[in-house]
């Protein structure tokens, strides 16, 4: 995997240029819808269900018509005509919600763990070899994904129909993709490719930058280099006379869409200081910035209020490692995790800070548990719902396609028995891009 990534950087010029043109072409067509498979999909009419469209008030008894992957009609029973070609799904006792969006995951991403040295000799040689750099702004996460049916099922059962898959290694981690969990055919799943550049305040081992301050300096220098590179390139293409040809740099090429053209840049923020670091960079370079992680956002609301940068807030409530709660012994740490951090989303809501919720860093089961904890700590369930649907869609720039149940939008919806986020609630049916997945327990 590593070798492959290295290859990406060291591709001979023309090859990379060709690749880049393709990427640029993809970028210049936002929200490109890949051709649906030729098979004929059924039209569905979900009848007699309770509907939470998120975009408006709940409908106690309603009908939803889904055709060709889109919501055709939605409304109270009786007001919506059931098309004659529709397969009617009796959904009384069920509640329909927009499919949940997890705006930050590492789903399907197979990361090979660095092999741990087993013998002292291996250990020494591992130490004496400087680690290879893990910075690949041109790394496309899409190329490393291997969707698995089981994973998709388990995410469906948690209520998710859409995910952002972000890269997970290095400082300049690479570029993420937005997927609909509609099957295992990657191309059919893509909603937006690439979506954002992901940056993490981590360090290299044994090579520059090996410290956090080195990392900040490194990021700033690369941004400045990109601006200069872009200026040079533009000047050269305007008139090459008496101007030295800019030396091709794939690293900087990959950064241009984000630094110059202001495509979204997501900063992973593992603690309050990461948030401030990211905000400083966003301001210095006028980036289209988004902050991810942010379980300490509650400590920096003033900054966030000023910056007006959207957040992808994880409901992982473990205090960050540098945090004081982590330094005062196990009892204090546990208390903080159970009683302080779950209030983060409620605080953000109160402060009118624009955020989506994610389960980044958590398993599906703890995700639900933690959402419940956040609700107990003061976040209204409707707000949690919104943060996982409409708000997420808006931050992803997909508010016209996703996030609410409205006619014309992508047919991503879930049917539950019981209120979403309640303890015993089960997701029994999931529709993604109009494709139906049944999870009704057979025994019942």
Partner 1 sequence: MFMRKLFSLNKFRILVLWTAAVLCAGFSWLFAGSLQSENGKIMASGEEKPGVLAIINVKIVPVVGPEINSGTIIVEKDRIKAVGSNLELPAGAKVIDGQGLTAYPGMIDGFSSLGLVEISGVAATVDNRETGRINPQVKAIEALKYDSMHIPIARSNGIVAAVVASSGGLISGQSTLVKLDGWTNREMVIKESLAMVVELPGIRGARRGFMGTGAGEAAVTTERALAELRELFNRSRMYEKRRLAAARNLLLPPPDFDETSHYLLPVVKGELPVIFSVHADKDIVQVIKFVQEEKVKAIFYQVEQGFKVAEEISRAGIPCIIGSLYDLPPVWEDGYDSLYINPGILNKAGVKIAFSSSSASAAKDLPYHAAKAVAFGLDRNEALKAVTIYPAEIFGVDKILGSLEPGKLANIVLADGDLLELGTRIHRVFIEGREVDLSNRYTELLDKFRKREQKR
Partner 2 sequence: MRKNFLKTFLIPILSLIFLAPVNSLLAAGNLLIKNAIVMPVTAPPIYGADVLIINGIIKQIGPNLTPPPGTRVINASGKYLIPGIIDTHTHLGLSGTNEGTDAITPEVDMADVINPDDPAIFTALTGGVTMVHTMHGSANVIGGRNVVLKLKWGQPSEKMVVKEAWPTLKFALGENVKQSNRTLLPGRPQRYPATRMGANAIIRRELLRAREYMAAWERYEKLKNSKNPPRGLLPPKKDLRLETLADLLRGKLYARCHAYVATEMVEFLRLAREFGFKIAAFEHAWEAYKITDELLEAGVGISVFIDSWAYKMEAAEGIAYNAAYCTQRGILVSINSDSSERVRRLFNEAGKAVKYGLTPDEALKMITINAAKQLGVDHLVGSIEVGKQADLALFENHPMSAYTRCEMTIIEGDVYFDRQQILKEREEAAARKGGY
What is the binding site for partner 2 (CB under 8 A)?
124-125, 127-129, 204, 206-214, 216-217, 220-221, 224-225, 227-228, 231-232, 235, 239, 241-244, 272-273, 276-277, 299-300, 322-325, 327-328, 332, 335-336, 339-340
Residue 323 touches which member of partner 2, partner 1, none, C-beta under 5-8 Å by kind:
partner 2
10 vs 21: CA distance, rounded Å: 17
1 vs 28: CA distance, rounded Å: 28
Q: Which is nearer to partner 2, 260 or 340 (CB)?
A: 340
Q: Which is nearer to partner 2, 2 or 335 (CB)?
A: 335
Q: Which is nearer to partner 2, 37 or 327 (CB)?
A: 327
Q: Are 331 and 377 in contact (CB under 8 A)?
A: no
Please count the residues of this chain forming the interface with partner 1, following the rule CB under 8 A. 6
- Location of structure tokens 């009704």: 440
CB of 336 to partner 2, least distance (A): 7
CB of 117 to partner 1, least distance (A): 18
CB of 240 to partner 2, least distance (A): 8
Which is nearest to 357 in space by CA: 335, 390, 334? Answer: 390
What is the largest distance, in Å, between two alpha-carbon atoms of the chain? 79
Residue 331 touches which member of partner 2, partner 1, none, C-beta under 5-8 Å by kind:
partner 1
Q: Which is nearer to partner 1, 144 or 337 (CB)?
A: 337
Instruction: State whether the Cα torsion 343-346-348-354 is positive or negative.
Output: positive
CB of 270 to partner 1, least distance (A): 20
Which is nearest to 405 in space by CA: 8, 55, 81, 139? Answer: 55
Q: Are 176 and 397 in contact (CB under 8 A)?
A: no
Q: Which is nearer to partner 1, 58 or 324 (CB)?
A: 324
Q: Which is nearer to partner 1, 303 or 333 (CB)?
A: 333
Copy the structure tokens of residue 265.
Answer: 């840049």
CB of 337 to partner 1, least distance (A): 17
Among 38, 57, 120, 329, indicate the residue that binds partner 1 (CB under 8 A).
329
Q: DSSP letter at 410?
A: B
Report phi then psi at 264, rounded to 5: -65, 140
Query: 21 Cβ partners below 8 Å, 6+ apart?
Result: none
CB of 322 to partner 1, least distance (A): 13
Among 185, 328, 352, 365, indicate the residue that binds partner 1 (CB under 8 A).
328
Which is nearest to 105 in space by CA: 151, 153, 168, 148? Answer: 168
3-state secondary structure of 437: strand
205 vs 130: CA distance, rounded Å: 7
Copy the structure tokens of residue 335.
Answer: 């208390």
* Stated length of the chain: 444
Using the contact rule CB under 8 A, the part of the chain among 93-101, 109-117, 315-323, 325-333 near partner 1 is 325-333
Q: Are 312 and 360 in contact (CB under 8 A)?
A: yes
Residue 34 touches which member of partner 1, partner 2, none, C-beta under 5-8 Å by kind:
none
CB of 172 to partner 2, least distance (A): 17
Q: Which is nearer to partner 1, 319 or 345 (CB)?
A: 319
Among 330, 423, 441, 443, indicate the residue that binds partner 1 (CB under 8 A).
330
Q: Does 363 bind partner 1 (CB under 8 A)?
A: no
179 vs 322: CA distance, rounded Å: 33
Residue 244 touches which member of partner 2, partner 1, none, C-beta under 5-8 Å by kind:
partner 2
Among 121, 238, 241, 331, indicate the residue that binds partner 1 (CB under 8 A).
331
190 vs 173: CA distance, rounded Å: 20
CB of 308 to partner 2, least distance (A): 18
Copy the structure tokens of residue 116.
Answer: 């741990």
62 vs 415: CA distance, rounded Å: 13
Task: Give the footprint of partner 1 on this chain (CB under 8 A).
Answer: 327-332
């Amino acid at each position: 995997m590593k070798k492959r990534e290295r290859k990406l950087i060291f591709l001979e010029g023309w090859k990379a240029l060709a690749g880049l043109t393709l990427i640029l072409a993809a970028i210049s067509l936002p929200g490109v819808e890949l051709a649906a498979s030729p098979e004929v999909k059924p039209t569905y009419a979900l009848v007699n269900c309770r509907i939470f469209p998120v975009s408006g008030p709940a409908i106690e008894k309603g009908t939803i018509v889904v055709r060709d992957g889109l919501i055709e009609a939605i409304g109270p029973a009786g007001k919506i005509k059931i098309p004659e070609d529709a397969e009617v799904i009796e959904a009384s006792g069920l509640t329909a919600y927009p499919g949940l969006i997890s705006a930050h995951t590492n789903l399907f991403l197979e990361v090979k763990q660095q092999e741990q040295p087993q013998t002292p000799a291996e250990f020494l040689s591992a130490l004496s070899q400087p680690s290879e750099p893990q910075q690949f702004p041109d790394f496309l996460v899409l190329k490393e994904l291997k969707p698995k049916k089981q994973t998709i099922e388990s995410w469906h059962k948690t209520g998710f129909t859409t995910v952002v898959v972000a890269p997970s290694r290095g400082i300049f981690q690479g570029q993420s993709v937005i997927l609909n969990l509609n099957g295992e055919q990657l191309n059919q799943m893509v909603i937006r490719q690439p979506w954002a550049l992901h940056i993490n305040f981590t360090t290299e081992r044994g090579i520059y930058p090996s410290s956090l301050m080195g990392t900040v300096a490194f990021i700033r220098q690369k941004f400045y280099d990109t601006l200069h590179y872009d200026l040079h390139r533009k000047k050269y293409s305007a008139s090459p006379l008496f101007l030295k040809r800019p030396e091709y740099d794939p690293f900087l090429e990959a950064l241009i869409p984000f630094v110059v053209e202001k495509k979204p840049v997501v900063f992973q923020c593992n603690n309050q200081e990461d948030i401030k670091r990211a905000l400083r960079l966003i301001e210095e370079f006028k980036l289209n910035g988004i902050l991810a992680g942010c379980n300490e956002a509650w400590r920096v609301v003033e900054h966030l209020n000023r910056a007006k940068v959207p957040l992808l807030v994880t409901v992982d409530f473990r205090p960050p490692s540098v945090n004081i709660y982590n330094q005062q012994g196990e009892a204090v740490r546990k208390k903080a995790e159970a009683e302080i951090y779950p209030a983060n989303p409620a605080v953000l809501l109160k402060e009118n800070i624009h955020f989506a919720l994610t389960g980044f860093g958590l398993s599906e089961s703890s995700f639900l548990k933690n959402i419940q904890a956040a609700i107990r700590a003061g976040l209204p369930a409707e707000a949690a719902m919104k943060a996982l649907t409409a708000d997420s869609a808006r931050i992803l720039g997909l508010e016209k396609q996703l996030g609410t149940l409205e006619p014309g939008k992508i047919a991503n919806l879930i049917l539950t028995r019981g209120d979403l986020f309640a303890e015993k609630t089960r997701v029994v049916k999931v529709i993604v891009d109009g494709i139906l997945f049944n999870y009704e327990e057979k025994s019942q």
